[in-house]
Amino acid sequence: MAYEMTRKERLWSVYQGKTPDRMPVKLWGLGKNQGMLHPAYQRAYDVAVEKTDLVGGASSPFDMYGGSRAQGMYESRKEPCGPAWTAHIKTMHTPQGDLLSVFMSNNRGHPGLEREYFMKDAADLKKVLSLAYEPYPADLKGYKNALGSMGDDGLVMFNIQHPAYMLYNSTGSETLGYLLYDAPELVREAVGIFARRVYDHVKAVIEAGIADYGPFAIGYVGPELLIPPLVSFEVFEKLVYGMDKPYIDLIKNTGGYVWVHCHGRVGKIISRFADMGVDVLNPKSRPPWGTAPSGRPCGRPEAGSPWKGISRSTIC
């Protein structure tokens, strides 16, 4: 009789390039002890928590722009905009002047939208770079608690932020596109500064002893907004591959595993994620939204498969 793995063992077998007893099944956004938007979801939720392979999350305090100085850097207020919308207005104070963002949340449960981003031009990016930065000390209490809560029901991911994605979050697609054309060196300088902060954050987490709790995976979301055709291959190489690889190397050299969330048409760049050292790339989107090659969905690539040369990456 075949050995039945625990849910934790099953997920780790995927990260480690081994063959699980069955395909892991993970529902996006599902976690323990979640509230329901409607009671009708409760039964399906209870079954999913019991049966699927759970992935939880934890992190240590981090702010890309100000670090531990961020608490005094922002001011926020809300303004009603009719019965359906609320404006969340946030001011960022910098030595070179204030920046403003406006997010519209929907009062009826529908998706919100960004009405105004912090950065509108190169001058605004320079204002952000003028901010004093002080890193938070690494704190693994949340990670330790998440591991205890998860037990053998799944895996706990340690989450970090992505340098280029954080810039995108404060510019939006249009402004970032103009900045990449008008001020490419300034963009590269900014993302390089943010990448160093992420590197130092990861280094502090490792030095605080994350490996003492067993195998660990560190993951992030963001490259999907900086891949072709949204940007050129050259931009991807500079702002994703070149910036991410140093802290991925740090993670891998300490025995950790790396999970990256990247939607889109990754067929032509999937080997670059493998070259970075990424163990799990999420998701494998089907055409026409994605262009990932077909092949074994999990585990090590078979000889002659489209994954030839991608020695350790797992695509799920």
What pLDDT, in 10s, does the model give residues 137-182? 999 999 999 999 999 999 999 999 999 999 999 999 999 999 999 9
221 and 283 fall within a common domain: yes
Q: Residue 164 domain-assigned?
A: yes
pLDDT average, residue stretch 86-105: 97
Provide the domain count of the chain.
2
173 and 113 fall within a common domain: no
Q: Which domain holds residue 86?
A: 74-118
Q: Residue 123 domain-assigned?
A: no
Q: Residue 311 domain-assigned?
A: yes
92 and 237 fall within a common domain: no
202 and 97 fall within a common domain: no
Q: Residue 294 domain-assigned?
A: yes
88 and 180 fall within a common domain: no
**Confidence (pLDDT) at 293:** 64
172 and 311 fall within a common domain: yes
**Confidence (pLDDT) at 294:** 54
pLDDT greater than 60 at residue 315:
no
Q: Residue 219 domain-assigned?
A: yes
Q: Residue 47 domain-assigned?
A: yes
Domain boundary among 84, 118, 152: 118
Residues 6+ apart with CB under 8 A from 139: 60, 61, 208
103 and 214 fall within a common domain: no
pLDDT greater than 50 at residue 260:
yes
167 and 194 fall within a common domain: yes
Q: Residue 1 domain-assigned?
A: no
Beta-sheet strand order (sheet of 257-261): 54-58, 154-159, 217-221, 257-261, 280-282, 314-315
**Environment class of 89 (CB within 10 Å of its CB; exposed 0-12, middle 13-18, buried 19+):** middle
